[in-house]
Amino acid sequence: MLIQLAQFMSEQEVPSEDEQIEDIAPSNSEPEEIPETDSVETLNSLQESLKKSRWNVFMFLGLAFLMFAFALFPMPMDADFEYGTAEKDLGFVWGPSLGGEDFMDVPYEVSVQVNQLPSNTGNITLQVFVLKIDDCTNPELASEAESKAQSGGDHDYQYQYVTSPVEGKTYTFDFDLDMGQYCLNAKAVGQGGTIVDPSRTDLVVTGKLWPNQVIAGVPGLVFLGLSTFAFVGAQKIGKKVKTILEDEKVTEEQLVLEEARRQKIVAGPGGPPKPVSGPGGPPPAVAGPTGAPPSQTTSGPANVADSPTESVRSGPPPTTSTVVEPQVTESPPQQDDGSTFEDAGNGYFYRKMADGTYEQQIYIKDASGQYVIYQA
């Protein structure tokens, strides 16, 4: 009993090889069908991607141009020249630069135009200070900062000078500033560092500051790189679209029709189908024939009668039978022996025997209406 139960369980659990093959065959025999609209949908998606890539190119180029405009546009400023000194509070200079001199410093350009200098004073020096101090109106703090600048070694206190300046000439001084509060001080001094006669000195001091050069320049470079990558991607997508159009020869009309069909499918049916009118009744009756088909008289063989008569008909017998228009004629009178005479036309008759054969004689009617053998 246990052996039979084990055999039954093994037969139920382990399928045979034929069953396994039958299970695998249907899965392999039905290949996956590719919808016909896949190519068109792929083309539409590629065209949408191409459009987005082109817009990305223009967008990133616009942002890069905007960033470069901010980075390269300077902030102009003028310093008022009073009492022999041109002073200007630059305010807070922003930028990502760290302490000390580095490539992220904010450029600052100072131009000094010398219009007039005292003629009786020799060894004049044109001095320009850019000092990192909080209060530009404090003379003690400014004097201490100028001393540090002249001694050098500190990037927060910068100093440049020109000896023996010439009237009518403009001198340019370039500085690189860290982030912070700065003051500008430009003056002409003589021997011992004293300011020359202010009434006989005229200096015009202007400056240009580029605080956004690093802040906007770096994002501008990033956007320029992104626009380059977007342009390369748009070129690749454009080549794919061109290849699909050349391979499948999809015309613009087909694309428009496919798009209209897709929109119609998305919109769904507008209502139930319209009823179609069927036939109003049975087909008309066709009139058939009203009677039996007309019978044609056939010409029999040319026969000669048994006995000649007095009636003689001139002319030879007809060699050919004449086709008579179909008409219904009366049957010829039947003789005593069952034979009948059939009209052959032109006054000639054939004698048809009772068995359906024809006598090989030609008959005519005499004056009394009797059929006699025709004699030439």
Per-residue pLDDT 10s for the chain (376 aa) are 444 544 544 455 444 444 444 444 444 444 444 454 555 567 788 888 888 888 889 898 899 989 888 888 888 888 888 887 888 888 888 877 777 777 788 889 999 998 888 876 668 889 999 999 888 888 888 888 888 888 888 888 999 999 888 888 999 999 988 888 899 999 888 877 788 888 888 889 999 988 888 788 888 899 999 989 888 888 888 888 788 777 666 566 777 888 888 887 877 665 555 665 656 656 665 555 555 555 544 444 444 444 444 444 555 555 544 444 555 455 566 777 788 988 888 888 888 888 889 888 888 988 888 888 888 7
* Max Cα–Cα distance, the chain, nearest Å: 187
As beta bridge partners, residue 345 has: 348
Closest Cα partner for 341 from 312, 307, 369, 309?
369
Amino acid at 52: K
Domain boundaries, the chain: 74-211, 300-376
CA angle 83, 89, 94 (to 5 degrees): 160
Model pTM above 0.85 = no
Whether domain 74-211 has CATH 2.60.120.680: the reply is yes
Strand order of the β-sheet with 85-93 is 157-163, 125-131, 180-189, 85-93, 75-82, 202-209, 106-116, 170-177
What span, in angstroms and rounded, lies between the C-alpha atoms of 76 and 95?
Answer: 17
Phi, psi of 146, rounded to the nearest 5 degrees: -65, -40
Alpha helices in 73-175 (DSSP H): 139-151
